[in-house]
């Protein structure tokens, strides 16, 4: 009897361990985005934010907009390892992350230096390489010189001085909170559609859990374990540079050239530390890593296994993990360029659109 009881208990424990191992990583796509109390979303504010997001007149040269590097008709990035800013200058060695689902990021930028979308929007506008505006006052002055924007800011924000730098970034952030990609095959699987994932993707899902990938890529967005907004989830990358395979990747892809969060905190412990990126839509977000040096998802998976986990994957493991990562691609909204207010000197919508189109031809983000 004791032997039977022991066998039953052992069996139950083993079954529990197997069930835990088989538990899906991450979680279902959130039903709503977090919205700060001091910046509520309204249809008019969304529309104004979209106009500002697409408007190249927010740059010093007049030909770079938010959409230039974060193309919402594509994958929310620009498909380039490094982005071109004003005057054709290349930004510092960091790849432009996607704007899609950025509303769920608890902190923004690779180094986590911005704690909100509003704070993030300030950076590129005033960065001398990205959009190059000399000051927040210069932005306000330029927008105040456009009658259509004067009317729209007054409708959205009211008050004696509706056009302020804070209102500009609040509007842009409000539009960005609409850029979400729900309903991936993985989400449908979690809702009960067991045919939403094929055999390879299901095996890859278990590999992600069993190998330890989910210890960093956790939660519904596969980027943190559910931390509050403004709280970063960071990891050193590369974590195990002494691993022989990782050392080869580090040299080939220059993975240890960027000081990472050290630039923000100036703490030695933050050298080569970066925000853990979301795995949502990762299959369509090549090139990969902070410097955009890796063009293939298969290679990126192998790099992560070697440099973060100290493991070498088989070809089949890599194939299965890539299949699972493909299942995290959600449904992108259809985004088209809004009509922009004309300037008093009769700069037409078509002229502004042509500037944007020229930029997009140089850097076409892709969802394919």
User: Which residues are identified as catalytic?
Assistant: 130
Phi, psi dihedrals of residue 238, rounded to the nearest 5°: -80, 145
* C-alpha of 61 from chain center: 26
Q: Return all residues near 139 (Cβ < 8 A) that are at least 6 apart.
A: 58, 125, 133, 165, 168
Instruction: Look at residue 185 and give its three-state secondary structure.
Output: helix
Helix ranges, the chain (H):
2-22, 43-54, 66-69, 117-126, 136-144, 147-157, 165-176, 185-190, 199-211, 244-253, 262-265, 297-308, 315-326, 349-362
Of the candidates 297, 329, 311, 307, which has an alpha carbon nearest to the alpha carbon of residue 210? 311
The C-alpha atoms of residue 277 and residue 107 are separated, in whole angstroms, by 10
Whether the upstream peptide bond of residue 205 has omega within 30° of 0, thus cis, is no
- Strand pairing partners for 288? 294
């Amino acid at each position: 009897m004791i032997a039977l009881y022991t066998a039953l208990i052992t069996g139950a424990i083993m079954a529990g361990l197997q069930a835990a191992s088989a538990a899906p990583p991450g979680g279902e796509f959130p039903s709503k985005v977090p919205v700060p109390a001091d910046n509520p979303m309204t249809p008019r504010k969304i529309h104004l934010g979209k106009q500002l997001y697409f408007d190249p007149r927010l740059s010093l040269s007049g030909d770079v907009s938010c959409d230039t590097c974060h193309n919402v008709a594509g994958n929310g990035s620009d498909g380039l390892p490094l982005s071109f800013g004003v005057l054709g200058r290349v930004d510092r060695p960091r790849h432009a992350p996607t704007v899609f689902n950025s509303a769920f990021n608890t902190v923004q930028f690779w180094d986590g230096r911005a704690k909100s979308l509003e704070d993030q929007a300030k950076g590129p506008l005033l960065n001398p390489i990205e959009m190059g505006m000399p000051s927040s006052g210069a932005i306000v002055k330029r927008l105040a010189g456009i009658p259509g924007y004067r009317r729209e800011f007054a409708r959205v924000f009211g008050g004696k001085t509706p056009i302020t730098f804070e209102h500009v970034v609040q509007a842009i952030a409000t539009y960005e909170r609409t850029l979400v990609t729900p309903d991936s095959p993985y989400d449908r699987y979690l809702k009960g559609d067991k045919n939403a994932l094929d055999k390879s993707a299901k095996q890859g899902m278990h590999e992600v859990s069993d190998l330890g990938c989910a210890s960093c890529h956790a939660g519904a967005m596969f980027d943190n374990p559910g931390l509050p907004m403004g709280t970063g989830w960071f990891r050193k990358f590369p974590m195990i540079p002494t691993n022989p395979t990782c050392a080869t990747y580090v040299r080939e892809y220059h993975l240890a050239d960027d000081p990472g969060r050290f630039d923000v905190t100036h703490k030695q412990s933050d050298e080569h530390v970066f925000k853990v990126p979301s795995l949502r839509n990762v299959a369509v977000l090549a090139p990969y890593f902070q410097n955009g040096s890796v063009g293939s998802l298969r290679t990126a998976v192998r790099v992560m296994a070697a440099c973060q986990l100290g493991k070498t994957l088989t070809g089949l493991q890599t194939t299965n993990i890539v299949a699972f990562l493909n299942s995290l691609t959600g449904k992108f909204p259809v985004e088209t360029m809004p009509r922009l207010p004309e300037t008093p000197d009769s700069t037409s919508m078509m002229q502004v659109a042509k500037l944007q189109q020229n930029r997009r031809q140089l850097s076409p983000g892709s969802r394919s």
